[in-house]
Amino acid sequence: MIRRIGVITRDCAGVNAALRSVVRTAASHGVEVYGVIKGYDGLIDGVLRLLDRRSVSGIINLGGTILKSARSERFLREEGQKKALKTIEENKLDGLVVIGGNGSLTGAHVLASQYGIKVIGVPATIDNDVNGVDRCLGADTAVNVALDALDKIRDTATSLERIFVVEVMGRDCGYLAMKVALAGGCEEVILPEQDFDMTEICREIRTGNAQGKVSWIIIVAEGKARAQDVATAISLLTGLETRIAVLGHIQRGGRPTAIDRLLGAKLGNAAVEALLAGETDKCVSLKCDESIELIPLSVAIQPKKLVFEPEYRLLKVLS
């Protein structure tokens, strides 16, 4: 019987929408929700806050997480996990919803598989690299935030006839880079999933330049190369003026898009319903924007293999 649950969050757009949905879905079933402050560190230290329907008012449009978050080194060790278990027992939590990316979901899998805690995960990461999940919370907002920045960079690239190399986040996954490059009308993208040939890229730039093409935007995924190294190589091999922009953490913040708010509402609701139905050690996912699926956490935390060749080919045709 589930009477009281805890909820742990990472930060990215759409997480607050999911939290609101968790709290209000639980309330509709008469289940109490405790928010864990600062992720797994808060679970270890027993820092929890009772969340009622009103405490999640006015947060659907906010980026980040109102519960705060942390990358917990302590939870990686058994000592930390045992302390977290003690908090769960002392606070009589019958289950947990964990909203986050691979690190958070790996922690959720440890709690479920090694300590028998009932846990459901909600995939939330701008990297969109949770295995088996089409769309993670935060990814759509991150693409849109990066696109907005890119549009501004394009103004300068065009006006000053320059080459720009723009580095985007994504850890080891090229999702953000590929989507931003294609949606932003960029000339090239360098992805962790594909080899790239600097000499060939520079040959294309020189040929284009000779035909009157004067501005280029090249997206680099942080998991493959550094913008500065790519820019230095381009300047050296083409003799053309090159600038860089590293977008960094602006991609993880910002007002969630409608897609991320809707996803948060649906996944938060599905996570609570799954816990109430007796499910555990799984993560909720929205398949083709329609139906909810439950994916074993042991599968969700495996490396995700994405293929970008068709989108890359399209980018080259259109650039």
Binding footprint of ligand F6P on the chain (CB under 6 A)? 71, 101, 125-127, 169-171, 222, 252
Q: Report the DSSP pairing between strands 216-221 and 163-168.
A: parallel
CA 139, chain centre distance (Å): 5
CB of 127 to ligand F6P, least distance (A): 5
Q: What is the CA radius of gyration of the chain?
A: 22
Taking the least distance from each CB to ligand F6P, the nearer of 252 and 282 is: 252
Q: Judged by CB, which is closer to ligand F6P: 167, or 188?
A: 167
**Closer to ligand F6P at the Cβ: 123 or 268?**
123
Q: What distance in Å separates the CA atoms of residue 205 and residue 126, rounded to the nearest whole number?
A: 31
The C-alpha torsion from 38 through 280 and 25 to 18, rounded to 10°, is 40
Quote the CA–CA distance of 139 and 135 in Å, as a whole number.
Answer: 7
User: Can you list the positions of beta strands (E) in the chain?
Assistant: 4-9, 32-36, 48-51, 95-100, 119-123, 163-168, 188-190, 216-221, 242-246, 282-287, 291-296
The residues that are catalytic are 127
Which residue lies nearer to ligand F6P by CB, 249 or 305? 249
